[in-house]
């Protein structure tokens, strides 16, 4: 089995979780297999080598799983982007629309600085709202967003289109069509 086949076999699809109509992609079985953890983080890092990335901004919470290992591979820093209220001051935040209502994410204010070249990373791209908000956070701090990195993309939700407004460089290892 190649890496994409192994990942498809390891990601558990859970229908109607957390709400009706959502097919939740549970990536936790990957972490029961150390060789798959290593191969996945290498495949996530590979497209970004030599691109001058200085910080990876990983999104709460599954963006924290591979992000630090990617930062080791790319010899750059790792910054947590958390849901509002989880980080100690001083923080900087960006609000974004959910299907119903609004959410906010934040990072420690001096973790990203002007001149940084940022890669936004999360486990999964759905509508793109969360990753776009993380990119806006980076831009608010004066950084350049070089691209977006995901393990899984749900391309039928067109998240790519939203992210393209910030950077055309969007990488995912596997795509799900439902």
Least distance CB 115 / ligand AMP (angstroms): 27
The verdict on 47 binding ligand AMP (CB under 6 A) reads no
Half-sphere exposure of 22 (CA within 13 A, CB side): 8
Instruction: For ligand AMP, give the closer residue by CB, 20 or 50.
Output: 20
Active site residues: 62, 99
The verdict on 129 binding ligand AMP (CB under 6 A) reads yes
The residue from 5, 16, 22, 142 that contacts ligand AMP (CB under 6 A) is: 22
Tell me which H or E stretch contains 133. Answer: helix 129-140
Q: Which long-range contacts (CB under 8 A, 24 or more apart) does 90-97 make?
A: 92/137, 92/140, 92/141, 93/137, 94/133, 94/134, 94/136, 94/137, 94/140, 95/133, 96/129, 96/130, 96/132, 96/133, 96/136, 97/129
Angle in degrees, CA 144, 148, 151, rounded to 5: 155
The verdict on 58 binding ligand AMP (CB under 6 A) reads no
The verdict on 139 binding ligand AMP (CB under 6 A) reads no
Stretch that binds ligand AMP, among 3-11, 86-94, 119-127, 136-144 (CB under 6 A): 119-127
The residue from 40, 71, 94, 122 that contacts ligand AMP (CB under 6 A) is: 122
The verdict on 25 binding ligand AMP (CB under 6 A) reads yes
The verdict on 123 binding ligand AMP (CB under 6 A) reads yes
């Amino acid at each position: 089995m190649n890496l994409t086949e192994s990942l498809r076999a390891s990601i558990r699809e859970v229908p109607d979780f957390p709400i009706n109509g959502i097919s939740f992609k549970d990536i936790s079985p990957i972490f029961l297999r150390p060789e798959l953890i290593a191969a996945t983080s290498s495949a996530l890092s590979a497209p970004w080598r030599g691109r001058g990335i200085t910080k990876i901004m990983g999104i709460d919470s599954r963006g924290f799983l591979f992000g630090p290992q990617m930062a080791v591979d790319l010899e750059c820093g790792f910054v947590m982007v958390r849901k509002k209220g989880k980080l100690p001051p001083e923080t900087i935040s960006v609000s974004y629309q959910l299907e119903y209502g609004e959410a906010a994410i934040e990072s420690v204010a001096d973790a990203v600085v002007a001149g940084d070249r940022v890669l936004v990373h999360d486990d999964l791209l759905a509508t793109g709202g969360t990753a776009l908000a993380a990119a806006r956070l980076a831009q608010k701090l004066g950084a350049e967003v070089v691209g977006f990195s995901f393990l899984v993309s749900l391309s039928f939700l067109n998240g790519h289109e939203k992210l393209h407004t910030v950077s055309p460089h969007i990488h995912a290892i596997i795509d799900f069509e439902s």
